[in-house]
Structure 1
Protein backbone atom coordinates (compact mmCIF):
# COMPACT_ATOMS: atom_id res chain seq x y z
CA UNK A 1 0.00 0.00 0.00
CA UNK A 2 1.44 3.37 -1.07
CA UNK A 3 0.35 6.34 1.00
CA UNK A 4 2.30 9.05 -0.85
CA UNK A 5 4.29 9.40 -4.02
CA UNK A 6 7.06 11.51 -2.57
CA UNK A 7 10.62 12.00 -3.77
CA UNK A 8 11.78 8.58 -2.48
CA UNK A 9 9.22 6.75 -4.64
CA UNK A 10 10.33 8.74 -7.69
CA UNK A 11 13.96 7.85 -7.08
CA UNK A 12 13.12 4.16 -6.77
CA UNK A 13 11.13 4.21 -10.01
CA UNK A 14 13.93 6.08 -11.82
CA UNK A 15 16.54 3.65 -10.51
CA UNK A 16 14.43 0.70 -11.63
CA UNK A 17 14.02 2.20 -15.08
CA UNK A 18 17.76 2.88 -15.36
CA UNK A 19 18.51 -0.73 -14.40
CA UNK A 20 16.09 -2.06 -17.02
CA UNK A 21 17.57 0.18 -19.75
CA UNK A 22 21.10 -0.81 -18.75
CA UNK A 23 20.22 -4.50 -18.99
CA UNK A 24 18.80 -3.98 -22.49
CA UNK A 25 21.93 -2.12 -23.61
CA UNK A 26 24.18 -4.88 -22.29
CA UNK A 27 22.05 -7.51 -23.97
CA UNK A 28 22.53 -5.65 -27.25
CA UNK A 29 26.30 -5.71 -26.79
CA UNK A 30 26.20 -9.48 -26.41
CA UNK A 31 24.32 -10.03 -29.68
CA UNK A 32 27.64 -10.65 -31.40
CA UNK A 33 28.18 -14.36 -32.08
CA UNK A 34 30.51 -16.35 -29.84
CA UNK A 35 32.94 -16.74 -32.75
CA UNK A 36 33.39 -12.97 -33.00
CA UNK A 37 34.22 -12.77 -29.29
CA UNK A 38 37.08 -15.29 -29.45
CA UNK A 39 40.35 -13.50 -28.59
CA UNK A 40 43.15 -13.03 -31.07
CA UNK A 41 46.25 -14.65 -29.69
CA UNK A 42 49.90 -15.05 -30.30
CA UNK A 43 52.67 -13.21 -32.00
CA UNK A 44 55.67 -14.43 -33.90
CA UNK A 45 58.77 -13.03 -35.53
CA UNK A 46 59.76 -14.56 -38.85
CA UNK A 47 62.61 -17.05 -38.68
CA UNK A 48 65.54 -16.79 -41.06
CA UNK A 49 65.14 -19.37 -43.79
CA UNK A 50 67.05 -20.54 -46.82
CA UNK A 51 68.29 -18.01 -49.38
CA UNK A 52 67.64 -15.10 -47.00
CA UNK A 53 63.88 -15.72 -46.95
CA UNK A 54 61.97 -15.21 -43.73
CA UNK A 55 59.71 -18.14 -42.82
CA UNK A 56 56.34 -17.62 -41.15
CA UNK A 57 53.86 -20.37 -40.21
CA UNK A 58 50.25 -19.41 -39.52
CA UNK A 59 47.66 -21.97 -38.52
CA UNK A 60 43.89 -21.71 -38.69
CA UNK A 61 41.01 -23.97 -37.76
CA UNK A 62 37.28 -23.82 -37.04
CA UNK A 63 37.74 -20.99 -34.47
CA UNK A 64 37.96 -18.43 -37.32
CA UNK A 65 41.24 -17.08 -35.97
CA UNK A 66 44.82 -17.01 -37.21
CA UNK A 67 47.55 -18.21 -34.89
CA UNK A 68 49.62 -16.24 -34.41
CA UNK A 69 47.48 -13.21 -35.14
CA UNK A 70 50.47 -10.84 -35.18
CA UNK A 71 53.57 -11.56 -37.22
CA UNK A 72 56.69 -9.44 -37.38
CA UNK A 73 59.05 -9.46 -40.35
CA UNK A 74 62.01 -7.47 -41.62
CA UNK A 75 62.15 -5.90 -45.09
CA UNK A 76 62.81 -8.52 -47.75
CA UNK A 77 61.40 -11.81 -48.95
CA UNK A 78 58.85 -13.61 -46.77
CA UNK A 79 57.65 -17.18 -47.21
CA UNK A 80 54.30 -17.50 -45.44
CA UNK A 81 52.76 -20.92 -44.89
CA UNK A 82 49.07 -21.28 -44.02
CA UNK A 83 48.16 -24.58 -42.36
CA UNK A 84 44.48 -25.47 -41.83
CA UNK A 85 44.50 -27.76 -38.79
CA UNK A 86 40.74 -27.89 -38.16
CA UNK A 87 37.67 -29.09 -39.92
CA UNK A 88 34.87 -27.30 -41.65
CA UNK A 89 35.17 -24.26 -43.87
CA UNK A 90 38.27 -23.49 -45.94
CA UNK A 91 40.33 -20.38 -45.17
CA UNK A 92 42.62 -18.13 -47.16
CA UNK A 93 45.13 -15.42 -46.24
CA UNK A 94 45.31 -12.02 -47.86
CA UNK A 95 47.38 -8.94 -47.06
CA UNK A 96 44.92 -6.03 -47.27
CA UNK A 97 45.86 -3.55 -49.97
CA UNK A 98 48.25 -5.98 -51.67
CA UNK A 99 46.09 -8.22 -53.90
CA UNK A 100 49.04 -10.29 -55.14
CA UNK A 101 49.97 -11.24 -51.56
CA UNK A 102 47.35 -13.95 -51.19
CA UNK A 103 47.26 -17.63 -50.15
CA UNK A 104 44.33 -19.31 -51.95
CA UNK A 105 41.58 -21.22 -50.16
CA UNK A 106 43.09 -23.92 -47.99
CA UNK A 107 40.90 -26.88 -47.10
CA UNK A 108 40.95 -28.69 -43.75
CA UNK A 109 44.16 -30.69 -43.44
CA UNK A 110 45.92 -28.74 -46.21
CA UNK A 111 48.96 -26.47 -46.17
CA UNK A 112 49.64 -23.77 -48.77
CA UNK A 113 52.44 -21.22 -49.08
CA UNK A 114 53.13 -17.83 -50.58
CA UNK A 115 56.38 -15.96 -51.15
CA UNK A 116 56.19 -12.16 -51.24
CA UNK A 117 58.28 -9.08 -50.61
CA UNK A 118 57.45 -7.33 -47.34
CA UNK A 119 55.97 -3.86 -47.90
CA UNK A 120 57.46 -0.67 -46.44
CA UNK A 121 57.94 -0.58 -42.65
CA UNK A 122 54.64 -0.25 -40.80
CA UNK A 123 51.60 -2.25 -39.71
CA UNK A 124 49.28 -3.96 -42.16
CA UNK A 125 46.09 -5.98 -41.72
CA UNK A 126 45.75 -9.48 -43.08
CA UNK A 127 42.44 -11.32 -43.36
CA UNK A 128 40.68 -14.48 -44.36
CA UNK A 129 38.66 -12.91 -47.17
CA UNK A 130 35.62 -15.12 -46.57
CA UNK A 131 35.61 -14.78 -42.77
CA UNK A 132 36.30 -11.09 -42.13
CA UNK A 133 32.84 -10.67 -40.55
CA UNK A 134 33.69 -13.46 -38.12
CA UNK A 135 36.80 -11.50 -37.11
CA UNK A 136 39.42 -13.64 -38.82
CA UNK A 137 42.06 -10.93 -39.10
CA UNK A 138 45.59 -10.26 -37.97
CA UNK A 139 48.46 -7.80 -38.18
CA UNK A 140 51.69 -7.93 -40.17
CA UNK A 141 54.36 -5.68 -38.66
CA UNK A 142 57.26 -4.79 -40.94
CA UNK A 143 60.24 -3.45 -38.99
CA UNK A 144 62.55 -0.77 -40.39
CA UNK A 145 66.02 -1.83 -41.58
Structure 2
Protein backbone atom coordinates (compact mmCIF):
# COMPACT_ATOMS: atom_id res chain seq x y z
CA UNK A 1 0.00 0.00 0.00
CA UNK A 2 1.38 3.40 -0.92
CA UNK A 3 1.83 6.14 1.63
CA UNK A 4 -0.69 8.35 -0.17
CA UNK A 5 -3.37 5.66 -0.04
CA UNK A 6 -2.58 4.99 3.64
CA UNK A 7 -2.97 8.71 4.43
CA UNK A 8 -6.29 8.93 2.60
CA UNK A 9 -7.65 5.85 4.38
CA UNK A 10 -6.42 7.04 7.77
CA UNK A 11 -7.90 10.52 7.38
CA UNK A 12 -11.20 9.81 5.63
CA UNK A 13 -12.09 6.34 6.95
CA UNK A 14 -10.53 6.38 10.42
CA UNK A 15 -10.83 10.13 11.07
CA UNK A 16 -7.20 10.67 12.11
CA UNK A 17 -5.61 14.12 12.15
CA UNK A 18 -3.74 14.79 8.89
CA UNK A 19 -1.15 17.10 10.47
CA UNK A 20 -0.21 14.51 13.09
CA UNK A 21 0.02 11.77 10.45
CA UNK A 22 2.30 13.93 8.31
CA UNK A 23 4.55 14.70 11.29
CA UNK A 24 4.65 11.03 12.35
CA UNK A 25 5.67 9.81 8.87
CA UNK A 26 8.14 12.63 8.17
CA UNK A 27 6.33 14.18 5.20
CA UNK A 28 5.16 17.72 4.62
CA UNK A 29 1.59 18.71 5.42
CA UNK A 30 1.17 20.22 1.96
CA UNK A 31 2.03 16.87 0.33
CA UNK A 32 -0.44 15.06 2.60
CA UNK A 33 -3.24 17.59 1.93
CA UNK A 34 -2.51 17.31 -1.80
CA UNK A 35 -3.01 13.51 -1.68
CA UNK A 36 -6.37 13.90 0.06
CA UNK A 37 -7.45 16.55 -2.47
CA UNK A 38 -6.43 14.32 -5.37
CA UNK A 39 -8.40 11.42 -3.90
CA UNK A 40 -11.50 13.60 -3.59
CA UNK A 41 -11.12 14.63 -7.25
CA UNK A 42 -10.53 11.23 -8.82
CA UNK A 43 -10.47 8.38 -6.33
CA UNK A 44 -7.56 6.03 -5.76
CA UNK A 45 -6.48 6.25 -9.43
CA UNK A 46 -5.67 9.94 -8.89
CA UNK A 47 -3.07 8.96 -6.28
CA UNK A 48 -0.92 7.17 -8.89
CA UNK A 49 2.24 9.03 -9.97
CA UNK A 50 1.61 11.52 -12.76
CA UNK A 51 3.74 12.17 -15.79
CA UNK A 52 6.35 14.91 -15.34
CA UNK A 53 6.47 15.67 -19.05
CA UNK A 54 5.69 19.24 -20.06
CA UNK A 55 2.16 19.86 -21.35
CA UNK A 56 3.40 21.93 -24.27
CA UNK A 57 6.64 22.81 -26.03
CA UNK A 58 6.26 26.44 -27.14
CA UNK A 59 9.76 26.67 -28.66
CA UNK A 60 9.36 23.49 -30.70
CA UNK A 61 9.70 23.92 -34.45
CA UNK A 62 6.43 23.57 -36.37
CA UNK A 63 6.00 20.35 -38.39
CA UNK A 64 5.28 22.43 -41.51
CA UNK A 65 8.63 24.24 -41.23
CA UNK A 66 10.36 20.91 -40.63
CA UNK A 67 8.79 19.52 -43.82
CA UNK A 68 9.89 22.63 -45.76
CA UNK A 69 13.47 22.15 -44.52
CA UNK A 70 13.53 18.52 -45.67
CA UNK A 71 12.00 19.42 -49.07
CA UNK A 72 14.50 22.25 -49.54
CA UNK A 73 17.40 19.89 -48.83
CA UNK A 74 16.10 17.33 -51.31
CA UNK A 75 15.62 20.04 -53.95
CA UNK A 76 19.09 21.50 -53.41
CA UNK A 77 20.72 18.06 -53.61
CA UNK A 78 18.78 17.27 -56.81
CA UNK A 79 19.95 20.57 -58.34
CA UNK A 80 23.55 19.78 -57.40
CA UNK A 81 23.92 22.68 -54.93
CA UNK A 82 25.25 22.81 -51.40
CA UNK A 83 22.51 21.54 -49.11
CA UNK A 84 23.93 22.46 -45.70
CA UNK A 85 22.11 24.15 -42.85
CA UNK A 86 23.44 27.63 -43.69
CA UNK A 87 22.25 27.36 -47.31
CA UNK A 88 18.85 26.08 -46.23
CA UNK A 89 18.52 28.98 -43.75
CA UNK A 90 19.26 31.39 -46.61
CA UNK A 91 16.58 29.78 -48.81
CA UNK A 92 14.07 29.74 -45.94
CA UNK A 93 14.10 33.52 -45.41
CA UNK A 94 11.63 34.35 -48.22
CA UNK A 95 9.43 31.32 -47.43
CA UNK A 96 8.96 31.66 -43.68
CA UNK A 97 8.51 34.62 -41.37
CA UNK A 98 10.49 32.98 -38.56
CA UNK A 99 13.62 31.21 -39.73
CA UNK A 100 15.03 28.70 -37.23
CA UNK A 101 18.68 28.89 -36.28
CA UNK A 102 21.32 27.05 -38.26
CA UNK A 103 21.79 24.62 -35.34
CA UNK A 104 18.05 23.85 -35.32
CA UNK A 105 18.08 23.26 -39.08
CA UNK A 106 21.04 20.90 -38.62
CA UNK A 107 19.15 18.95 -35.93
CA UNK A 108 16.10 18.68 -38.22
CA UNK A 109 18.29 17.39 -41.05
CA UNK A 110 19.99 14.89 -38.74
CA UNK A 111 16.63 13.67 -37.48
CA UNK A 112 14.84 13.44 -40.85
CA UNK A 113 17.40 13.26 -43.59
CA UNK A 114 20.34 11.22 -44.74
CA UNK A 115 23.12 13.25 -43.12
CA UNK A 116 26.47 11.50 -43.33
CA UNK A 117 28.64 12.51 -40.37
CA UNK A 118 32.19 13.50 -41.21
CA UNK A 119 35.00 12.25 -38.95
CA UNK A 120 36.63 15.11 -37.06
CA UNK A 121 39.79 13.53 -35.64
CA UNK A 122 42.14 10.70 -36.36
CA UNK A 123 41.96 7.88 -33.85
CA UNK A 124 44.79 7.86 -31.32
CA UNK A 125 45.77 4.39 -32.46
CA UNK A 126 46.86 5.81 -35.84
CA UNK A 127 49.72 7.87 -34.37
CA UNK A 128 53.22 6.33 -34.45
CA UNK A 129 55.18 7.16 -31.34
CA UNK A 130 58.89 7.95 -31.52
CA UNK A 131 60.07 5.52 -28.87
CA UNK A 132 62.61 2.77 -28.38
CA UNK A 133 62.82 -0.37 -26.33
CA UNK A 134 66.23 0.50 -24.85
CA UNK A 135 67.91 3.79 -23.90
CA UNK A 136 70.06 5.43 -26.57
CA UNK A 137 68.57 3.20 -29.28
CA UNK A 138 66.92 6.07 -31.21
CA UNK A 139 68.46 9.45 -31.95
CA UNK A 140 66.71 12.52 -33.22
CA UNK A 141 68.38 15.53 -34.78
CA UNK A 142 67.03 19.01 -35.35
CA UNK A 143 68.94 20.48 -38.29
CA UNK A 144 68.44 23.92 -39.70
Normalising TM by the smaller chain, what interval? under 0.3
TM-score of the superposed pair, with normalisation by structure 2: 0.27
Higher relative contact order, structure no. (Cα contacts within 8 Å, ≥ 6 residues apart): 1
In terms of fraction of residues, the more strand-rich structure is 1
Return the index of the structure with the highest Cα Rg: 2
